[in-house]
Structure 1
């Protein structure tokens, strides 16, 4: 571990238990000192506070891995173009962040900690600015028309939209979405299809109890509405050089990127077996199982196993999907893709570790409304 990484991680422990208060203080100082920045942010700031802290913690945890660190921050810089962030805004953010850290660390904050965060933030800002500048040929966001809106269950909808300008992405990536019913609130959803010639994109959305955007997308958005899409992000994409067979584990609407990856495989795969495990609480939440079964009937290299955790009458597997995966296998020589709620992903990763699946062969994304 480098000295910079050690200082960053040691100093973070001084404020880690006060993350929410630190984030609130950070935004209060930033808006007080720079009132014009308030218009860049949504009215509801609860999720925005957690995103700030997530970005900070991720940056701190990856500072010893230059390639991951650079890729993450450049992607973050590209993504922040949708907020109309300018290079000069980074100084305001950095000043408020340092003030918040000093305030909540108190007397334990040292000159060495202060300099480490200054140095790290300078790198963070430079890489984010570089990422935004490298993306300058693209719009900060894409306007897209909703073509179809299909309710698959009480809380789940499938939306098909078409950007008005070409939007390039890879199967497995996710895209941030904003709708007119919740302006300046962006939430990430995976594209549920591989890129199409007509540019249309499917999104699978579950309305969560306190989900401002998800509820609007499921219950209010209609065909003809316009939404906005951010730059595609995420690294859960197919390694086309690998010849290993594949296991996909999806929970609920985490099926979306898995379905996109399967669709990509249908265009070129001839040699790799693909095993899909799709889990949900009950059969209603297995909202796209019929489509998966049709694909499996058409492509002999594809198999589908569905499971419910709370539906004893379901004519398939029962239990948590991670436990169902463990009942098959062995999987030591397979590539894995895992997508679903944070709890489902954590459970599956633990299971795979117990089964001694090498971590380097596992790609995953965890999604909630935040």
Structure 2
């Protein structure tokens, strides 16, 4: 397996600078091999059609750690049911993937690389197919929007109720969401911002930059109570370890607060002995849209502390600076379970800070948020 992983990573360097070409070739070949598959993808493929390809490629890059990745692959197989992917389709996708890799890599490609990708793809898809087959849940849930609250021009907090079937998730996990009325067949992942409950209600925190479209734009600007969404199976391992006795550090930037809020909500039901420190950062105080709710939780639970920070608001009376910098002022965190959620840049900066603090990697779980 080590040699396979080495060959996969070596060969990936031949194509990683040409992702657009790889993607275009993959889907062109896929739809040529099986034209019926085209109906399951959005009309506009740019930026959205890459979900399946991205997932498969990401899986091959960590194939050297199969045990820890097994559950992820099984959940990925369950998640791909929302695309109407069936077991027989994986063989067709494998042919298209190898053809796209060979074409994009050019003369640098060789038979060893080809066989490594065949072996890795076969192993990965076998686990994904098994995960899909063992799932008795529907491929996605219809969900009705209950509330929709705007926070400034680009952020919204909304709640939805999954209809017909209970939707099982754990605090800290994320789901894929589709807005069929505005963007059919286009999916985007969002962390669930509340702990599981008997009412089957999920909360989402959504931010979209000014002028952006896609799913986040539709959820912030065009969605209203009564609308129907589709929500796919939960994924993600940014969940609480109830067996741990370590105190907890949570670092959140912007709407990255969503899974942190869910984790804190879950802790309110059973925690009595672990101190929980939440650091919540944004550029401006107006972007700390959920601070009041966090402070209410702090007032009710003495084990919880909340430290807000702004990086571009000199008049803010809390901490100043990027949240990754603020966290280091309060360390060390070497004896804590650490949870990090926010933009890719914010997560990278926080992971570097925790590494410099010598926090063991096994004590860190994290999630990143894009801007689609």
TM over 0.5: yes
For residue 195 of structure 2, give the secondary structure of its aligned residue in structure 1.
coil
The CA deviation at 1:255 is 0.3
Alignment correspondent of 1:140: 139
Map 1:1-370 onto structure 2 (within 5 A).
2-135=2-135, 137-164=136-163, 165-179=165-179, 180-208=181-209, 209-370=211-372
For residue 297 of structure 1, give the secondary structure of its aligned residue in structure 2.
helix
The CA deviation at 1:49 is 4.9
For residue 46 of structure 1, give the secondary structure of its aligned residue in structure 2.
coil
Query: 1-side partners of 2:155 and 2:48: how far apart?
Result: 24
The CA deviation at 1:53 is 4.9
The CA deviation at 1:330 is 1.4
For residue 48 of structure 2, give the secondary structure of its aligned residue in structure 1.
helix
Give the CA RMSD over aligned residues.
Answer: 1.3
Normalising by the residue count of structure 1, what TM-score does the alignment of the two structures yield?
A: 0.97
Query: 2-side partners of 1:128 and 1:3: how far apart?
Result: 22
CA distance 1:90–1:53, change in 2 (3 Å): closer
Listed as ranges, the gaps of 5+ residues in structure 2 are none
Query: 2-side partners of 1:330 and 1:273: how far apart?
Result: 14
* Contact 1:23/1:52 (<8 A) preserved: no
Query: 1-side partners of 2:371 and 2:177: how far apart?
Result: 11
CA distance 1:354–1:57, change in 2 (3 Å): farther
**1:309-342 deviation per Cα after TM superposition (whole angstroms, max 9, x unaligned):** 1111111111100000001121110110000011
* Contact 1:332/1:355 (<8 A) preserved: yes
* Contact 1:62/1:68 (<8 A) preserved: no
The CA deviation at 1:257 is 0.4
Query: 1-side partners of 2:49 and 2:13: how far apart?
Result: 18
The CA deviation at 1:51 is 3.2
For residue 74 of structure 1, give the secondary structure of its aligned residue in structure 2.
helix
More displaced stretch, 74-83 vs 11-20? 11-20
Query: 1-side partners of 2:178 and 2:270: how far apart?
Result: 33
**1:221-257 deviation per Cα after TM superposition (whole angstroms, max 9, x unaligned):** 1111110000000000000000110010000000000
The CA deviation at 1:52 is 4.2
The CA deviation at 1:197 is 1.5
Listed as ranges, the gaps of 5+ residues in structure 1 are none
Query: 2-side partners of 1:116 and 1:203: how far apart?
Result: 40
Query: 2-side partners of 1:244 and 1:211: how far apart?
Result: 42
For residue 48 of structure 1, give the secondary structure of its aligned residue in structure 2.
coil
The CA deviation at 1:115 is 1.3
For residue 105 of structure 2, give the secondary structure of its aligned residue in structure 1.
helix
The CA deviation at 1:122 is 1.1
**1:155-205 deviation per Cα after TM superposition (whole angstroms, max 9, x unaligned):** 111111100120000000001101121111111111111011211111111
The CA deviation at 1:109 is 1.6
| Alignment: residue pair count | 369
